[in-house]
Homo-oligomer: A and B are copies of this chain.
């Protein structure tokens, strides 16, 4: 890295707690960071990239939102293993159309998310890009040895749950794209949907309850739409899932907006993305206990279906208005482009 960029990174990271101490032996500013992993814990590692025009537009995301969301999507992946995020490495490629101020706002968002979830930025790389801004974040976390919650452990007879509203982020993106098209601000009643898109939350507390309970079998985070995540669990576990559409948690604002524009709310729920809720399966006999723990923690917990041993040959089916239909396997893409 050239010196001018190195100085900029130093400036942006100076206020961080990426410096030594509390298990971090070597922080930002050397060839690599070094930390002492917690005893009896395993290392959890994941990496997510966000690319301008593919995952966000300047018109739909404030620079700080971009940084915030890039961190959250990774913390969410750690939460989906039942773990806790600890450290982040940030790789950013900045094009000339991004001013130093806008770039520093991306870092503001990165640090805001990190501070909210107890994550320390310990390294990364800052380079030039010819055009689109690219942001790739790696998050390192920890989980109790041998306890990580995998997507492959669903068993017949278990129930399928989700930890909160789905579809909100995609509906929020729709509102923002309409605003971009028409130039008129989106109605303020839909702020919660836009917030869900720009400032999502990672369900770390939910993941910890699920891991501690011993009742959770399979777990995924909802980053590519509920349908895609259910398919991943079904395929990885070799089971079939039957989902009851009427039980899927959908925000009232989403239903209202969908009705207003003549759209199917379930399309957002199943094929929207970036909700970062957790979806999984748990033993039926221990669902009441789990529901109580979630209620005590003030976290939504909705039962949306069950795991079947075998059946109609469809990995995921959905019952809606009394009719059971296969739920097509498809993921989310932001702007109609495959990703």
Count A interface residues, CB 8 Å: 81
Q: Which residue of B lies closest to A124 (CB)?
A: B47
Name A80's contact: one of B32, B127, B128 (CB within 8 Å).
B32
> Is A34 at the interface (CB under 8 A from chain B)?
yes
- A193-219 with Cβ < 8 A to chain B: 219
Residue A62 lies at the interface, judged by CB distance under 8 Å to chain B: no
Rounded to whole angstroms, the CA-CA distance of A113 and B139 in the bound complex is: 23
Interface residues of A in 92-143 (CB under 8 A from B): 92-93, 122-125, 127-132, 134, 136, 138, 140-141, 143
Q: Is the Cβ of A54 less than 8 Å from the Cβ of B130? A: yes
CB pair A34 B81 closer than 8 Å: yes
Q: Which residues of B contact A48 (CB under 8 A)?
A: 91, 125
Query: Would you call A36 an interface residue if the criterion is a C-beta within 8 Å of the partner chain's C-beta atoms?
Result: yes
How distant is A231 from chain B, measured CB to nearest CB, in Å?
8
Q: Verify B32–A339 contact, CB threshold 8 A.
A: no
As for how many copies of this chain the complex holds, the number is: 2
**In-complex Cβ contact of A31 among B2, B33, B52, B81 (8 A):** B81
Segment touching B, from A182-190, A289-297, A324-332: A324-332
Within 8 A of B (CB), among A36-62: 36-37, 42-55
| Residue of A83, A91, A148, A221 ringed by the most chain B CB atoms within 10 A | A91
Contact (A123, B46) CB under 8 Å given A89-B138, A329-B3: yes
Interface contact B130-A31, CB-CB below 8 Å: no
Does B128 contact A339, Cβ atoms closer than 8 Å? yes
Residues of B within 8 A of A64 (CB): none
Pair B141/A138 contact, Cβ less than 8 Å: no
Mark each residue of chain A from 15 to 31: 1 if its CB lies under 8 Å from any CB of chain B, else 0: 00000000001100111
Do the beta carbons of B81 and A26 come within 8 Å of each other?
yes
Q: What is the distance, in angstroms, from A299's C-beta to the closest C-beta of chain B? A: 19
> What residues on B are CB-neighbors of A128 within 8 Å?
51, 54, 337-339
* A89 adjacent to B54 (CB under 8 Å): no
Beta-carbon contact of A34 and B143 below 8 Å = yes
Question: Which residues A76-96 have CB closer than 8 A to chain B?
Answer: 76-78, 80-81, 83, 87, 89-93
CB <8 Å contact, B25 and A146? yes
Question: What are the nearest 4 A-B pairs in CB distance?
Answer: A32-B46, A2-B331, A31-B80, A91-B136
By a beta-carbon cutoff of 8 Å, the part of chain A in contact with chain B is 1-6, 25-26, 29-37, 42-55, 76-78, 80-81, 83, 87, 89-93, 122-125, 127-132, 134, 136, 138, 140-141, 143, 145-146, 148, 150-152, 219-221, 223-224, 228, 231, 236, 329-333, 337-339
User: What are 18 pairs between A and B in contact, CB < 8 Å?
Assistant: A25-B148, A30-B150, A30-B151, A32-B77, A32-B78, A33-B45, A36-B145, A37-B37, A45-B123, A47-B89, A47-B90, A47-B124, A49-B134, A51-B134, A54-B129, A130-B132, A132-B132, A134-B136
Q: 20 extra interchain contacts, Cβ-Cβ under 8 A, other than A30-B150, A125-B136, A129-B134?
A: A30-B80, A31-B219, A32-B44, A32-B77, A33-B44, A33-B46, A34-B45, A34-B81, A35-B42, A46-B123, A47-B123, A47-B124, A51-B128, A51-B129, A53-B130, A54-B129, A93-B134, A130-B131, A131-B132, A140-B140
